[in-house]
Amino acid sequence: MSRLTIQQEIFSILGIKEPVLLGEGSESQAYEYTADKVVKIYKGPVERDNLDHLCSIYAWLSTHHLPFAVPEIYAIEQHEDTVYLIEKKLVGRPISTVYARLQTNERQRLLSNYLKAVRHLQGVTLPTQPYGSIFHAPGQSPVPYQSWRQFLRETAPLKLPQTQDDLRQEGIDVARLLETFLQDIENVPDTPEKNFVHGDYFFGNVLVDDKLKISAVLDVSWWSVVGDHLMDIAGAVMFLDLYEYVTPQEITSLTRQALALYGPEILTAIRVYGVYYSLLLSDCKLFDPAAYSWSIKRLREYMQ
| Distance, CA of 265 to CA of 221 (rounded, Å) | 26
Give me Rg for the CA atoms of the chain: 19
Q: 216 and 241 share a domain?
A: yes
- Residue 137 is predicted with a pLDDT of 61
| Distance, CA of 22 to CA of 30 (rounded, Å) | 5
- Residue 138 is predicted with a pLDDT of 57
Question: What would the pLDDT profile of 183-223 be if each residue is shown by its tens digit?
Answer: 999 999 999 999 999 999 999 999 999 999 999 999 888 89
Question: What would the pLDDT profile of 118-155 be if each residue is shown by its tens digit?
Answer: 999 998 999 999 999 988 665 566 678 999 999 999 99
Q: 46 and 152 share a domain?
A: no
Look up the CATH number of the domain holding residue 61.
3.30.200.20
Q: 194 and 299 share a domain?
A: yes
pTM as predicted: 0.90
Q: 42 and 174 share a domain?
A: no
Q: Which residue range is the domain that position 250 belongs to?
A: 93-303
Q: 191 and 287 share a domain?
A: yes
pLDDT at 250 over 70: yes
- Residue 267 is predicted with a pLDDT of 97
Residue ending a domain, among 32, 55, 88, is 88
Q: 146 and 214 share a domain?
A: yes
Residue ending a domain, among 45, 68, 88, is 88
Q: 115 and 45 share a domain?
A: no
| Residues 132/155, Cβ–Cβ less than 8 Å | yes
Q: What is the 3-state secondary structure (H, E, C) of the chain?
A: CCHHHHHHHHHHHHCCCCCCEEEECCCEEEEEEECCEEEEEECCCCCHHHHHHHHHHHHHHHCCCCCCECCCEEEEEEECCEEEEEEECCCCEEHHHHHHHCCHHHHHHHHHHHHHHHHHHHHCECCCCCEEECCCCCCCCCCCECCHHHHHHHHHHHHHHHHHHHHHHCCCCHHHHHHHHHHHHHHCCCCCCCEEECCCCCHHHEEECCCCCEEEECCCCCCCEEECCHHHHHHHHHHHHHCCCCCHHHHHHHHHHHHHHHCCHHHHHHHHHHHHHHHHCCCCCCCCHHHHHHHHHHHHHHHC
Environment class of 303 (CB within 10 Å of its CB; exposed 0-12, middle 13-18, buried 19+): middle
- For residue 99, name the pLDDT band (cuts at 50, 70, 90): very high
Question: What would the pLDDT profile of 21-59 be if each residue is shown by its tens digit?
Answer: 987 766 788 999 999 999 999 988 888 888 888 999 999
Q: 187 and 156 share a domain?
A: yes
- For residue 111, name the pLDDT band (cuts at 50, 70, 90): very high
Query: Mean pLDDT score of the chain, rounded to an integer?
Result: 93
Q: 45 and 117 share a domain?
A: no
Work out the percent of the chain whose per-residue pLDDT is above 70: 97
Look up the CATH number of the domain holding residue 169.
3.90.1200.10
Q: 167 and 58 share a domain?
A: no
287 contact partners, CB below 8 Å, separation of at least 6: 43
| Distance, CA of 267 to CA of 254 (rounded, Å) | 12
Q: 84 and 121 share a domain?
A: no
Question: What would the pLDDT profile of 69-82 be if each residue is shown by its tens digit?
Answer: 999 999 999 999 89
Domain total for the chain? Answer: 2
Residue ending a domain, among 56, 88, 120, is 88
- Residue 44 is predicted with a pLDDT of 85
Q: 115 and 205 share a domain?
A: yes
